[in-house]
Amino acid sequence: MSNPTMVFTDIDFEREGKQVDWLNLPHSVTRSAYGAISIPLAVIRNGPGPTVFLMAGNHGDEYEGQIVLAKLIRELEPEHVRGRIIIMPAANLPAAMVGARVSPIDQGNLNRAFPGDAHGTPAWAIAHYIDSVLYPMADFHHDLHSGGSSLKYVPFCSMRQSGEAALDARSMAALKAFGAPLSLIWSYVPENRLAGAAAARRGLVSLGGEFGGGGDVNRTSLAMLDRGVHNFLHFAGVLPGATPAAPTTDIRFMAVSSQAHYVYATEAGLLEPAVDLGAEIKKGDLAGLIHFVDNPARAPVPCYFRRDGMVVCQRHFGRVERGDCVAHLATDVE
């Protein structure tokens, strides 16, 4: 490896059985000169077979995935598995421990840090380890997100188009197997620094999703996510046995395919949403009004949707700054 990781661990990824331990990233501070950030990781292996890498806590204030993967670590035993499952329930551990989107150490957004930097600050060093060590081991990948404290989402599972037809077809099959009632295809890719984009570059069959939001823990989202992760593991072939039950509702496939799906605040103020999450809207409909309580005689500034679609995401915080995302849409695909 031309740029070797600084992360060290007692985990042996080739060992049979179940290991729950830590990845240790050196982090020298006043209170601990030879200290390390210890990031939990589980490896469950039983014989030959595919490798599935599951991660959550990419953003620390997104909780459903962290809970589901922590439960999965306790639940799964080697005899349940054919192949290998790698589980990282709190990828950006410093952020997860304070319930923040970004790390309190370096303000690093792990999902904007790929492919990372082996000798960078913690978020970039973690991204480098995932990209250069864990991804090359894996055949399948799922990065579990929620809207965090600043956004509310209609819960969905998603796949991100890579531009490689065969890989995209396998990811679409995985998305169908997951079985989320709302399933989203990201064909608009403004960021190549995302974990999912890095996984695609490594050729992994990769899913994502937003399974809640608003900084709380949604019981319905938890149940859907738990069921879907098990479906995904069955699809990948690492959980042999009976085929999971088909989804109880039809799957609605939607896409985010352009920057026009997003609405942004043009002024700083208090946001009054004009529609509800999940609403079907038309191009030109009002998305919200920005009010100015420091100058109440000033008329509010409107924000408009720029195309038809369903409102799958809305801002959760009432206060906005110019450039904050107010809402975004998804549109139906066949």
Predicted confidence (pLDDT) per residue in 43-87, tens digit: 999 999 999 999 999 999 999 999 999 999 999 999 999 999 999
| Same-domain status, 167 and 196 | yes
Range of the domain at 74: 8-256
Mean pLDDT of the chain: 96
Cβ pair 159, 207 in contact under 8 A: yes
Of the candidates 129, 62, 57, 121, the residue with the CA atom closest to the CA atom of residue 90 = 57
| Same-domain status, 111 and 156 | yes
Q: Where are the beta strands (DSSP E) in 30-73?
A: 36-46, 51-55
54 lies in some domain: yes
Mean pLDDT of 103-122: 97
| Predicted pLDDT at 191 | 83
| Same-domain status, 215 and 273 | no
Return the structure tokens found at 95.
Answer: 């952020």
Instruction: Specify the 3-state DSSP secondary structure of 184.
Output: strand
Measured between alpha carbons, how far is 52 from 44 in angstroms, rounded to an integer? Answer: 10
CATH number at residue 118: 3.40.630.10
Measured between alpha carbons, how far is 72 from 79 in angstroms, rounded to an integer? Answer: 14
| Predicted pLDDT at 1 | 42
Mean pLDDT of 305-322: 98
Instruction: Decide which of 228, 256, 284 is a domain's last residue.
Output: 256
| Same-domain status, 269 and 246 | no
| Predicted pLDDT at 148 | 94
Q: Which amino acid is at 82?
A: R
Residue 233: DSSP 8-state: H
Measured between alpha carbons, how far is 136 from 194 in angstroms, rounded to an integer? Answer: 16
Tell me how many degrees the CA angle 65-71-77 measures, rounded to the nearest 5: 125
| Same-domain status, 67 and 206 | yes
Measured between alpha carbons, how far is 285 from 212 in angstroms, rounded to an integer? Answer: 25
| Same-domain status, 186 and 235 | yes
Instruction: Decide which of 231, 256, 281 is a domain's last residue.
Output: 256
How many other CB atoms are there within 10 angstroms of residue 165's CB atom? 9
Tell me how many degrees the CA angle 101-181-196 measures, rounded to the nearest 5: 40
25 lies in some domain: yes
Note the pLDDT tens digit of each residue in 187-233.
987 789 999 999 999 999 999 999 999 999 999 999 999 999 999 99
| Predicted pLDDT at 189 | 79
Measured between alpha carbons, how far is 58 from 95 in angstroms, rounded to an integer? Answer: 8
Q: Structural domain tally of the chain?
A: 2
Measured between alpha carbons, how far is 258 from 254 in angstroms, rounded to an integer? Answer: 13
Measured between alpha carbons, how far is 153 from 10 in angstroms, rounded to an integer? Answer: 38
